[in-house]
A and B are shown apart, each in its own frame.
Chain A
Amino acid sequence: MKMNMKPSRPIGIVGYGAYVPRYRVAAAEISRVWRQGQDTGALPVKQKSLPGADEDTITMSIEAGKNALMRADIDPALIRSVWAGSESHPYAVKPTSTVVAQALSIAPYTTAADFEFACKAGTEAMQAALGFVGSSMADYSLAIAMDTAQGRPGDALEYTAAAGGAAFIIGPAANSVAILEGSISYATDTPDFFRRSYQKYPEHGNRFTGEPAYFLHISNAVRTLLEDLELKPSDFAMAVFHQPNTKFPQKVAKQLGFTPEQIKEGLLSPFIGNTYAGASPLGFSAALDAAKPGDRLLLASFGSGAGSDALSFVVTDRIEEVRFAAPTTRSYIDREVLVDYATYARWRNKIKHH
């Protein structure tokens, strides 16, 4: 039995766009405040991105979406879905996606919904968009992967919980920059990480987050995809894995037979941390920025709860025309401004004063 999912017509990514806020806080600064710097030899990332006081998942999604539209070069009114995947939607009830649809001139003839699946909410939205366009219900569909993740002050996740993401416009293969070959979704009930209603910060199962969660789900999704498509790791120019820290994606890549060279372009966590639902999609936008026509690219997400989406794309000649039509992923990452823990704590509402 083939497990992979294929559209009933050729489709792909017609436009993509990144967004990362300009502010960073160094992991060593967080360590100084909570651990007196005792763990600076073993920090999971160098620094993480954080949103400015006037940014949230909605504003960041609008900018990534604008960038995707600039590359797609289509009338936004042709887009029939705005699906935003995040674990940090600004409202508990009221869609992120309707604000984005309005601000990008996609509204009113569109479906709009918010997706939630921890760190794979974004690729979940992509899978749905691929299905929507692949079945010919729509010609264009916008999927967004964006987060402004928060870790409890002093918790291990505080070093990495970051902000950023990417947006993808799915459409017909004829004007795609990368054509879909097939995808796998793999999900089981695994309570490795969760946040209950009305709680500000998530809980996690410490060691439980590694082997039975991250590694098991990604490995099964990627291995099955490669088997079904009759591909091997060396057939890919680049591979992007979910990146909750620096080590996990390096380790899972090695286990699956991918080289450090193949994951280098899309491995952004050392510089910006874990952007949750945004993480692997943002790495994928960095890979597209660097891709050549004919390159095969792998995108493998992981979301706690738990599941993994693995997708294979082949880059087309059109990448050369659109690559610089919007700011690159790197141009967002490079504009870093470091802030201290006090500024970070103020902006992220970690200080309760009323």
Chain B
Amino acid sequence: MDIPRTWRLRDQRYLLQGNQCEECGELYFPKVFICHKCRCRSLKDYQFSGRGTVYSYSTVYQAAPNFDAFVPYIVALIDLKEGPRVTAQLSDISPGEVEIGMPVEMVVRKISEDGERGVINYGYKFRPPIPLEE
């Protein structure tokens, strides 16, 4: 993986940081430079809560070498509570446990390792929420 790109995107990957149109309020993840809705160019950073639900998913058994360590893993489309739909791996779950519509929360996990000598890339994945007691 490309180190400058990873570095540039760290807040997107660690914090689920997207942006919001200052004109019409539309939310984006990942960030956009022009609002797709009102064409406004004035957007501010917006940190998503990390809560969402599984819209759809697929299990990966054959992966690129950097992801070999994680197979089989699940790639899902997540509908964030605030609106945008993101693609991400699920974690802390086995293929049989996933259901469409299930609630998930964002966690930071290892995405890939650039071999034994290279950089370790971290970023968002989603997992079934750990319940809060009352």
Write the chain B residue with the least CB distance to A21. Answer: B92
Residue ID in chain A nearest B134 by CB atoms: A324
Say yes or no: A331 contacts B92, CB within 8 Å.
no
Chain B contact surface mostly = mixed
A328 to B130, CA, bound (A): 9
A residues in contact with B108, CB < 8 Å: 59, 62-63, 103
Find A324's partner among B111, B125, B133 (CB 8 Å cutoff). Answer: B133
Interface flags, B79-103, vs A, CB<8A=1, else 0: 0000000000101100000000000
Q: Does B51 make an interface contact (CB < 8 A)? A: no
In the complex where A102-B10, A103-B15, A103-B122 touch, is A54 in contact with B134 (Cβ < 8 A)? no
A102-B10, A103-B15 are contacts. A58–B130 as well, Cβ < 8 Å?
A: no
Contact status B14-A102, CB under 8 Å = yes
Task: Write out the residue numbers on chain B whose beta carbons fall within 8 Å of the beta carbon of A190.
Answer: none
Task: From known contacts A59-B108, A103-B14, A103-B122, infer whether A332 and B92 are also in contact, taking CB-CB under 8 Å.
Answer: no
B130, A332: Cβ atoms closer than 8 Å: yes
Residue-by-residue, is A307-322 near B (CB-CB < 8 Å gives 1, otherwise 0)?
Answer: 0000000000000000
With an 8 A cutoff between CB atoms, is A55 at the interface?
A: yes
B132 at the interface (CB under 8 A from A): yes
The answer to whether B70 touches A327, judged by C-beta atoms less than 8 angstroms apart, is no
| A54, A91, A324, A331: the one within 8 Å of B109 (CB) | A54
Size of the chain A interface, CB-CB below 8 angstroms:
25
**In the bound complex, what is the Cα–Cα distance between A296 and B133 (angstroms)?**
24
> Is B109 within 8 A of A105, CB to CB?
no
Residues of B within 8 A of A22 (CB): 92
A56 to B109: give the CA distance in the assembly, Å. 8
Known: A63-B107, A63-B108. A54 touches B131 (CB 8 A): no
B120 at the interface (CB under 8 A from A): yes
A61-110, CB < 8 A from B:
62-63, 90-91, 99, 102-103, 105
CB closest residue in chain A, given B133: A324
Q: Do A327 and B91 contact each other (CB < 8 Å), given the known contacts A54-B109, A63-B107? A: no
Smallest distance from the beta carbon of B8 to chain A beta carbons, Å? 13
* A328 and B133 within 8 A (CB): yes
Among B112-134, those with CB < 8 Å from A are 120, 122, 125, 130-134
Q: Which residues of chain A are near B11, meaning CB under 8 Å?
A: 102
Does B69 count as interface, using CB distance less than 8 angstroms? yes
Asked whether, in the complex, the Cβ of B110 is within 8 Å of the Cβ of A54, the reply is yes
Beta-carbon contact of A324 and B110 below 8 Å: no
- Distance between A310 CB and nearest chain B CB, rounded to angstroms: 30
CB nearest to B92 among chain A residues: A22
Q: In chain A, residues 116-140, which have Cβ atoms closer than 8 Å to a Cβ of chain B?
A: none
* Docked complex Cα distance between A52 and B108 (Å): 13
| A326 in contact (CB, < 8 A) | yes
In the complex with contacts A58-B122, A59-B110, A103-B122, A52-B130 CB distance below 8 A: no
Residue ID in chain A nearest B89 by CB atoms: A54
Which A residues, 8 to 46, have Cβ-Cβ distances below 8 Å to chain B?
22
Which of chain A's residues have a CB closer than 8 A to the CB of B10?
Answer: 102
- Give the docked Cα–Cα distance between A62 and B13 (Å): 13
State the Cβ distance, A141 to closest chain B Cβ, in Å: 21
Q: Is A345 an interface residue (CB 8 A)?
A: no
Q: Provide the bound-state CA to CA distance between A105 and B91, in Å.
A: 23
Does A335 touch B at the CB level, under 8 Å?
Answer: yes
CB pair B130–A54 under 8 Å, yes or no, is no
Q: Scoring B residues 42 to 62 as 1 if CB is less than 8 Å from chain A, else 0, what string do you get?
A: 000000000000000000000
Closest chain A residue to B71, Cβ basis: A53
Contacts of A63 in B (CB 8 A): 107-108
Q: Is the CB of A99 within 8 A of B122?
A: yes
Q: How far is the CA of A288 from the CA of B76 in the complex (A)?
A: 37
Measured CB to CB, the closest approach of chain B to A167, in angstroms, equals 14
Q: Which of A53, A103, A324 contacts B132 (CB 8 A)?
A: A324
Query: Contact at A327–B109, with CB atoms within 8 Å?
Result: no
B residues adjacent to A (C-beta < 8 A): 10-11, 14-15, 69-70, 89, 91-92, 107-111, 120, 122, 125, 130-134
Task: A54-B91, A347-B69 given; name 10 further pairs at CB < 8 Å.
Answer: A54-B110, A54-B111, A54-B125, A56-B110, A58-B120, A63-B107, A63-B108, A91-B120, A102-B14, A103-B108
Q: List 9 A-B contacts (CB under 8 A).
A: A52-B92, A53-B69, A58-B110, A62-B14, A63-B107, A99-B122, A105-B15, A327-B130, A331-B133
